[in-house]
Amino acid sequence: MLQDILKSATKDNHDELESLMFVNEIMNKTLTLEHYKTLLATNYIVHSAIEAKLHEALDNELKLELDINRRNKLAALEQDMLEVQLDKEELDALDFDFLDVKEYTNASALGAMYVLEGATLGGNVIQKKLRATPAFQNLNLNYYTVYGQHLMPSWLSFVEVLNSSVPETDFSVARDSAVKMFENIAEVAKTVKTVLA
C-alpha cells in the first residue's frame, strides 16, 4: 500500500521534524508559550503557502471523496495566532520561495497531504498533552483539534483515497512529494526559531 511506502520513506524526516517541533517538551508537559508560538508560526507559514494549492490541484472526484473544504486548517491557525498575539503580518513578510511549487498532480498533492493529514492526526495527542500543561489550559487549540470528533474518519478516508487513487506508476511521485514536504517544514521551522528568538 502507498501509505506504508510513504511511512517508510519519510521515517527519518519524521524523526527530525519531531525534534524540531518540540515533541519531547510536549510529551513531558514542559512546552513554553514561546515554543508554542514557533509551532503555530511554522504551521501557519506552510499552510498559507500550500494548503489551497494542494486542494485545488486534486481532480473534482478526489475533492468530493475527501470532502476537501473540511480539510482547510489555515483559519484555525489564524485563530490560534490571534489568541497568543502572534503577528501574522510579520510572518507573511518572510520569504520561503522553496514552498512555491508551481504545479501539483493528484499524486504529488496526495503525497504532500499525507504529511499534513498525519500531523493533524498527531495533533490529537498534542492537544491532550497541552491541556494537561498549566500554560495552555485556557487556550482553544483550534489547529490541534481542527477535525474534532471527525478526526479518525477524516484520517481513514484520506488513507483510503491515497491507497486507491494513485497508480503504482506514480508511487515515486507521491513518495518524493511527501519527503519534500517534510524537508520544507523542517526548513521553515529552523528559520522561524531564529526569527522568533
Q: What is the pLDDT along the chain (197 residues), one digit of tens a residue?
A: 999 999 999 999 999 999 999 999 999 999 999 999 999 999 999 999 999 999 999 999 999 999 999 999 999 999 999 999 999 999 999 989 888 877 899 999 999 999 999 999 999 999 999 999 988 989 999 999 999 999 999 999 999 999 999 999 999 999 999 999 999 999 999 999 988 87
Domains and CATH numbers, the chain: 2-196 (1.20.910.10)
pLDDT value for 99: 85
d(CA 34, CA 19): 16
Cβ burial, residue 100 (10 Å; 0-12/13-18/19+)? exposed
The pLDDT score that the predictor gives to residue 50 is: 95
Predicted local confidence at residue 146, as pLDDT: 97
Q: Please answer whether residues 98 and 125 qualify as being in contact, where contact means their C-beta atoms are separated by less than 8 angstroms.
A: no
Q: Which of 49, 172, 179, 59 is nearest to 101 (CA)?
A: 49
Residues 6+ apart with CB under 8 A from 195: 41, 90, 94
Predicted TM-score of the model (pTM):
0.96
Query: What pLDDT was estimated at residue 137?
Result: 87
Whats the size of the chain, residue-wise?
Answer: 197
